Every structure is written in C-alpha cells, then in structure tokens.
Amino acid sequence: MTSVALVSACLDKIEAENDQLKAWQFVDRDAALARAAEMDKRRDHGKPLGRLHGIPVGIKDIIDTKDMPTGLGSAVLKDRSASADAAVIERLLEEGAVILGKTVTTPFAFLDAAETRHPINPAHSPGGSSSGSAAAVAAGHVPIAIGSQTNGSTIRPASYCGTYAMKPTSGLISRRGVLQTSQTLDQVGIFAATLEDLALVSDCLGSYDPADQASLAAPRPHCAQDMADAPPVEPNFVWLNMPYFDRLAADAREGLMELVDALGGQVEQIDAEHSFKGLVEAHKIIQDYEIARNLDWVLRDHGDAISEKLKATLEHGQTISDEAYGEALGFRTDSITYFETFYRDFDAILAPSAPGEAPQFGSTGDPIFSTIWTLCGLPCVTLPLLVSETGLPIGAQLIGGREEDGRLLRTARWMQEHLSQMTENEGD
Amino acid sequence: MTSVALVSACLDKIEAENDQLKAWQFVDRDAALARAAEMDKRRDHGKPLGRLHGIPVGIKDIIDTKDMPTGLGSAVLKDRSASADAAVIERLLEEGAVILGKTVTTPFAFLDAAETRHPINPAHSPGGSSSGSAAAVAAGHVPIAIGSQTNGSTIRPASYCGTYAMKPTSGLISRRGVLQTSQTLDQVGIFAATLEDLALVSDCLGSYDPADQASLAAPRPHCAQDMADAPPVEPNFVWLNMPYFDRLAADAREGLMELVDALGGQVEQIDAEHSFKGLVEAHKIIQDYEIARNLDWVLRDHGDAISEKLKATLEHGQTISDEAYGEALGFRTDSITYFETFYRDFDAILAPSAPGEAPQFGSTGDPIFSTIWTLCGLPCVTLPLLVSETGLPIGAQLIGGREEDGRLLRTARWMQEHLSQMTENEGD
C-alpha cells in the first residue's frame, strides 16, 4: 500500500465526516498528499525510511506547525501563525510521518468544551482538552494523533472515545512549541489504534531537548523493543482505593472490579495513603498558579473572548502566594520520591481512566482520575476494555514507574492478552 | 565492566600521555567520573540505557559544550564559554555517552597545524583540522571522538593516524553549536576504533534540526541495521582516475592498486569526467567566500592573533564576487545531481583518503582527496588498510551515494572481510 493511497483514504473520510464530528480544525489536503508522494518516492528510490513511514498523523491545535495555523482552540486566534515547528513535529517528520492537519482542542487546552462531538453518540462529549485527537483516532480518521495532558486531557478523552492512549513519563518528550499552560504539569500525550502503535510513537517522539527545561538528558525507554518480549514473570498489579472514588460511576466501578477479579492473584488491593487527597489540591495550586502567569497575555489581550471559567481561574491563579505554590511543588517532589520505590513490588497500578462513560455534549468531563499520575509525571496508558450501561466505551488505566514506559506497555499487553484469553475460554 | 572503570582507564591513559601527544585541549576528570557513575547507577536501577551507554567520547574543540570551554583552537579564545551544548552533544547525552573533554583542533579548524603529535611517530603530524580527535582515537584514549570536515578534516587525519573515520551524508547530523566556517561545506565527522562503532555513532547523531539550515526533514539511514546484513550481491566498486592523482605518493598509489587487484572483477577503473577538476576550484570559491563572512569577527577582533595564511584567506574571501560564488554553488548542485544516478551502477567509489603517509610535524597535509566528496555531501569512510614505506598508516577511502550511509558501511565491511580472507588464504 502506498502512503498516497492511505493518506487519500483518511482525507476522504475526514472530508465526509468532519462537518458532523468536528474533530479537525484545519486540514491541508494538498500538502499532505505531496508529503505522502515524497515518502512513496523515497521508498521507490531505496532511500532510508522512518519508523512512521508514510503514516498519517493528526496534531492537537496547541502544538505549533510552521506550515499550518495553530489557533490554540480560540476563535480570536484561529489564524495564529507559528514561526517554527514544535519539537514533536520535527521528530514526526524525521520518522517519515505525514501530518494531515490540526485537531480541535478546547480553548487554551482548558476545561471549556470544544465543538467536537463524540464519535459514537453525537449527543455526548469526546472529553477534552485533546477532544479532536481522541475523536479522530476513535473515528478511524487517522491511526495516530498527538495531544497533551496537564491534568487528564489525553487519558480521559481516550477513555470516553474508546481508543488507546498514553502519556509517557514527563521529561521524555520535548514540549518546545506546545502552548505552555503549566511548565510543571504539561505533558505530551499520544492516541493510537493499538498498544504497539503507542510504543512506536512514544519511541519516535522521545528526545533530549534542553529548550524544554524538564527534558531529561538521559537515555529514553525502548518501548517497542520492551513490548516485543514477554514479561519475565506474570506481572503484579495494585488497585489503590482512592479517597475520591465516590466520583466513579457504578458501571465503571463494576467493570473495573470485574477486571480485578479476572486478574485474580495478580492484583493486590490496598488503600491509598491519606496524603493522596492532598496531592489533588497540590496539583490545583500548581496548575492555577502557573496558568495564570503563562496565560496572563490572554487575560490582558483577549479577556473578552475567553470563558468566565477560564477568566476566573486566571484571576484566581494570580492570587496564589509564592509560599503556597512552593509548598505544593515540595509536596509533588515528595510524591515523586514515594513512587520511586513503589514499583519494586508492582508492575503497574490498575485504575479508572475516567469517572465513567462520556458526559453529555457541552462538558469535557472530570479529570480527577489522572490528576495524581500527571502531577508525578508517571507514565499512563488507557485501554478501551469496558462498556457502559448505555453502550459507550470506558477505559481502564495502567500507571507505571518513571522512565519505565516500556515495562508499562509490556504489562498492558500482557493484561490485554490475558483477559482476551479468559474471554475466549469462557466462550468455549 | 562498569562505565567508571572504563572512563577511569581512559582518563589515566590521557593523563599519562597527553603531555607528549597533546591530543586533549581540556579534560574534566571529575565531571566525567560523575557522569560515568550516574550511568552505572542507571544500569543498576534497571533504567533505560542508551546505545552509547557509559562510553567515553572526545569532542573537537570547535563544538560547543556548556560545561567546558570551547576555545576553537585559538590561544586568545581558549577560555571561551558556550551558553548551550551543540546538537551532537545533546544526542550523545541522550544515548548515555560520557564526554571526557575537548580534543585539540587547528585554530578555527583551518589549515595551520595544531600542537598535537602523530600517535605513532611524534616527528610527524596527525593531520588536521580534527587533529586531537584522530590522535586520541588512534592512541586508544577513547573509542569514539567527534570531529568535523569542511574539506578533508576528518578523513585525512584518520588516514594519517591509522584509525577508522566517517563523514556521513551532509544534512543528517545537525551542526547547531559547531563553529560555522562554511554553511555549505561544514559537516560533522566521526572517529572510531571499528566500522561497527562508526555505524552506531552515526545512527545516534543523526537527527532533524531546523536550526541547521541544511538539516534534512526526512528519515535517517539505519547504519547499524544495514551493516548487520550481508550485501545482497557482491558489491561493485569504481576506481576513478582523477586529474589530481599526481599528488598521490608512490607507496600510497601502489598500496591502493594492490587493493584494486585484490578486489579483481569487483572494481571498474574509469577516468573521471574532465569537469571534476573544476569541482576543486568550486569548493575553494565556496569555502573562501563563506569563511570570510563567517569569520569576519575573527579578522576584526583578533586579527593580530591569527596566522598570515588564515588572514590572507579571510581577506581574499572578501574579494570573491557574489557572481563567482553563485556560479560555484550552481556547479556544486549539478554535481550532486550527477552523483544521484552514479550509484545505480556502483556501491562505492574506492579512492585515496590522503596523498600518503602523515606529513612532518608542522603541516596538516593536503585535503585534496576529500574535496569533491565533501563538496557534494557524499558519505565517506576511511579504513586503515595500508602501510607506508616508513611504516606509517595509510587509509583507503570509500565514498557512497547520498543518504546511503548504511549501504556504504555494509560495503566497507564486505571489502574489509574480503581482503582479510584473501590475506589468510595467502598465509595457508
């Protein structure tokens, strides 16, 4: 199959469905087909091919692209032009990917809903803030899309839309050229149709880049390679009973408990430390403090064009004291240290990806089930394993140790295969 | 073996020999050992390891390092401090390498000799301008060193010192943070103890970086992978009789002709196009025009501290007209096009790496046998296969097609194995 054929098919599907789905903010058909033809030519001429050779990709519209507008989800900035590609775009180009266009994001990647519809039931929301990336992959418009997560903006919409997604360890993927809302919390996320694709894209995007102050000057995980091997022993999971589990819907809880049962002796259930509740508060202080400073220009220049909710957050953030912020940062550091030894006993935490099925259109849903993992920069993956009472997808989340993204994906694959084998056996 | 043990051994050897060899401009023992210990700790903790995990590397002193001075080979600038690491340093850190220090370069990577001695016979020169990188690898101070080539500054000193070296296709490795003398001609080079190491390092350093205007926004070769396979058929070589072959020493010519004979029917001897002579002139026009503009600050601020030869070149370069420069650039573009189809018939050009054995101390030797390949950005590799009448090393060079660095290294490995098998058979 040629890249031109694959890209054309994706473009046709987008053209047919985007008026309804509104997953795409901007698509450059001609540029995508030209790039696909160039990739096909490289193959014909025996030139080196990348790991994403000829594969179409969608990009969340808070990620800078020099050849396409990057509107940050804001109506007033929709023609905004970035002077340079983001680091992740450089990596995608180096790997031979074909960038089809920009996917819809909530305004400034904040909580206000975007116009994107749920790919299965348009009365529902795809979640946010990476609304378009999640919907585009779930709808089969592209096999891969890039998003971001500052609280639950990758894992949550993937759970709602029924696709796979991953947020790698913080510091592995450079955020240069991604709208900065929180230098401490912002992280790049990946949506894909399979776990294998998540591993591949994660490997491709990881790169040391001192332009991102959090970028690790150290070797990256080898996710694809790690995933190719079977785990040395059957992995151990932990189910942490969290203080905010009252926000989990009954059907989601039931489904997750069935997973826990199915994994049997491989799962240990323990109560989370009491301090975990404080982590959610620490996340909020850091996010509000930093977004208020990073987006002060939005309040100043476009104060009339933003939602009351965003405006209130930006104004509130300005009132947070440096002391309260410093204390929250210290709490985060302690938690990162806590999790450093946690994964000696467990391969992954099994947890909800979201509170339940996708909410009604107009909401982006509750990010609470991602907050702590995002705060600590732990790698997370969501698998579309469950179904709600109304037939919508619900994800199951696995969380691994820092820089152990490969081990996390290997564990996720093992779990998926183990569960599917059990289902087959039941069918016998 | 731990990285600390390997790095310590290298540092001890450097300490014992550098007063005589003068291959190192700056070595940071403590920082290198701390980094090595950090890499050992990563391994102990099961963290991801890079492809150059714990391996000591030397860096030509025109390549910026933020934690060490980058003196550009100039006495007046020896304490120069760069604010950021060069792109190649970022890539080395990401792969787990340990940077031991900076290797001596000729002043501003120009033709004037540096103080480095030849590693076998101190009455001779190691060549230039990557004098210290070549000598350090040849003397066994480090398994890998990074250099650069604008004319013959990697291949020639490697040939003189008796080590392997490679200059990958132009545009594969970013030159951000490398002293710019010629934006058209400057290229990063690699010295290593084996062909396999050249492939590995080349793979590690290759990365798209729009900060380098020549950087290719396309997939990189997979040299290590390509080299692991045997060639699909026995490779074809070509020996081009060049208009400037009168500058080749008798013993070098004799040795190379023995190689041609040993390869038998695999080598076709043809006369180079008459236009090749003009390419050498085009290279000179481009280099002089560009260096005069890039180093105008050196002439202005340090005119008294540079050699008469460099001064004359900088002054001459200013007099080259834009028309002559444009014509030379056009000639270069035509030649790149010429070589695009050339490699349909041949896997590699077999050619001299240098005019013969290392010259006497005080000269850096004649770069003529690299000029055309550097001009066209073709990948080149030199193998230490020959010996001069006085017992000094002489390299044999192979030149491949653009972006076919993997095929070139595979061909080089085949040639080396083929020749060594023939020698063994002779010994029977």
Positive or negative, the CA dihedral B16, B19, B24, B30 is positive
B146 and B269, same domain (yes or no) = no
A160 and A265, same domain (yes or no) = no
Confirm if A342 and A242 have CB atoms less than 8 A apart. Answer: no
Residue A355 DSSP one-character state: S
B241 and B154, same domain (yes or no) = no
Residue B273: predicted pLDDT: 84
Q: Which segments in chain B show pLDDT lower than 70?
A: 427-428
Q: Any chain B CB within 8 A of the CB of A189?
A: no
Residues 6+ apart with CB under 8 A from B90: A208, A209, A210, A217
Report if residue B9 sits inside a domain.
yes
User: For strand A56-60 and strand A144-149, is the pairing parallel, antiparallel, or unpaired?
Assistant: parallel
A169 and A213, same domain (yes or no) = yes
- Shortest distance, CA B93 to any CA of chain A (angstroms): 6
Mutate to test the interface with A, among B207, B208, B337 (most CBs of A within 10 A): B208
The whole-angstrom separation of Cα A1 and Cα B270 is 41
Number of A–B residue contacts, CB under 8 Å: 77
Q: Any chain A CB within 8 A of the CB of B41?
A: no
Picking from B185, B216, B247, the residue at the C-terminal end of a domain is: B216
The CATH number given to whatever domain includes residue A311 is: 3.90.1300.10
Residue A1 structure tokens: 């199959």
B260 and B382, same domain (yes or no) = yes
Q: Any chain A CB within 8 A of the CB of B47?
A: yes
A48 neighbourhood in chain B, CB within 8 Å: 218-222, 403, 406
pLDDT along chain A (428 residues), means of 10: 97 98 98 98 95 98 98 95 97 98 97 97 97 98 98 98 98 98 98 98 97 97 94 95 93 97 95 88 98 97 95 97 98 95 95 98 97 98 98 98 97 96 77
A405 and A269, same domain (yes or no) = yes
Yes or no, beta carbons of B94 and A217 under 8 Å apart: yes
B198 and B278, same domain (yes or no) = no
Report if residue B343 sits inside a domain.
yes
B204 and B245, same domain (yes or no) = no
Yes or no, beta carbons of B210 and A406 under 8 Å apart: no
The residue of chain A nearest to residue B210, with distances taken between CA atoms, is: A90
Confirm if A68 and A26 have CB atoms less than 8 A apart. Answer: yes
Tally the domains of chain A: 2
Active centre residues of B (catalytic)? 60, 129, 153
In the 3-class helix/strand/coil scheme, how is A41-61 assigned residue by residue? HHHHCCCCCCCCCCCEEEEEC
B265 and B190, same domain (yes or no) = no
- Considering only residues 197 to 236 of chain B, which have any Cβ-Cβ distance to chain A shorter than 8 Å? 207-210, 217-222
Residue B282 structure tokens: 């085009």
The whole-angstrom separation of Cα A213 and Cα A374 is 17
Yes or no, beta carbons of B210 and A85 under 8 Å apart: yes
Residues 6+ apart with CB under 8 A from A159: A127, A165, A353, A354, A382, A384, A393, A394, A395, A397
Q: Any chain B CB within 8 A of the CB of A64?
A: no
A143 and A274, same domain (yes or no) = no
CA distances from B48 to A220, A260, A404, B158 (A): 6, 29, 8, 33
Catalytic, A167? Answer no
Report if residue A227 sits inside a domain.
no
- Shortest distance, CA B379 to any CA of chain A (angstroms): 14
The residue of chain B nearest to residue A50, with distances taken between CA atoms, is: B219
Q: Which residue segment(s) compose the domain that B338 sits in?
A: 237-427
ipTM score of complex: 0.90
Provide the mean pLDDT of chain B: 96
Picking from A187, A218, A249, the residue at the C-terminal end of a domain is: A218
Residue B76: predicted pLDDT: 94
Yes or no, beta carbons of B403 and A48 under 8 Å apart: yes
What's the one-letter identity of residue A75?
Answer: A
The whole-angstrom separation of Cα A80 and Cα B60 is 42
Strands of B273-370 (E only): list them.
348-352
Report if residue B226 sits inside a domain.
no
CA distances from B136 to B59, B126, B358, B362 (A): 10, 10, 16, 18
Catalytic, A129? Answer yes
Picking from B187, B216, B245, the residue at the C-terminal end of a domain is: B216
Q: Helix crossing, A195-205 with A87-94: angle to 10°? A: 110
The residue of chain B nearest to residue A220, with distances taken between CA atoms, is: B48
B194 and B254, same domain (yes or no) = no
Which candidate from A49, A210, A222 shows the least CB-CB separation from B84? Answer: A210
A61 and A101, same domain (yes or no) = yes
Which candidate from A93, A208, A219 shows the least CB-CB separation from B53? Answer: A219
